[in-house]
Amino acid sequence: MNLSPTVVFDLDGTLVDTAPDLINALNFVLGREGLPAVPLKSARNMIGAGARKLLERGLEIDGRHAGLKDLDRLTNDFIDHYAAHIADESRPFEGLEDALDTLAERGCRFAVCTNKLEWLSRLLLDRLGLSSRFSAICGADTFGVSKPDPAILQQTVVLAGGRLASTIMVGDAGTDIGVARRANVPVVGVDFGYTDVPMADLKPDRLIGHMRDLPGAVESLLAPRRAS
């Protein structure tokens, strides 16, 4: 059995700064509905629970509420526009590729576990030239469950060929902390992502402010697992 450690990443706000393209897609839909645009800076923390929730939050800013049928239509419009512009401005966070190189040299494998749709996740990572780095890329539709349900993390690790006993989660929001805790997996929190609750308050096992610090954080969490 291959005992290589598995590092599982959230996508939006952890691997890639996707906020500009997500908010541009949101504002495209809001504009078509005659609603004002949402400023990027204030909208960053609205990201993380999927396209539908992002739209609901965008509508709430103007005091609007969409019925189920309208929300379905708006979500489809959002996804169509977003897919066409998915990597216009989205970029990996500074230091990511160097961190992945270092961890790969240390024998780690990588996977993505996100609440984004799988096909959109693959499209984004393809456009950024990152897909080949990951043994598995799993989204909210891959297994029919979303974070923080532990099943999505557990099945992502299995698909990547790893073991939960040698897995570390990396994320930027409460859903990432929650899924890791429920799956009994140590978690590294990044403080540069999208969350309305400060990452420090969510008490990850390690907290980093730059990807350069990821290899050291992962290694410190893997050491006691290797010894056990």
Q: Which residues are catalytic?
A: 10
Containing 144, the helix (H) or strand (E) segment is none
Reply yes or no: is the peptide bond before residue 92 cis, omega within 30 of 0: no
Structure tokens at 227: 């010894």
**First-residue to last-residue Cα distance in the chain:** 17
How many other C-beta atoms lie within 10 A of the C-beta of residue 31? 11
Backbone angles phi, psi at 201, to 5 degrees: -70, -20
Structure tokens at 169: 């989660």
Can you tell me the distance from the alpha carbon of 87 to that of 21, in angstroms, rounded to the nearest whole number?
7
How many other C-beta atoms lie within 10 A of the C-beta of residue 12? 24
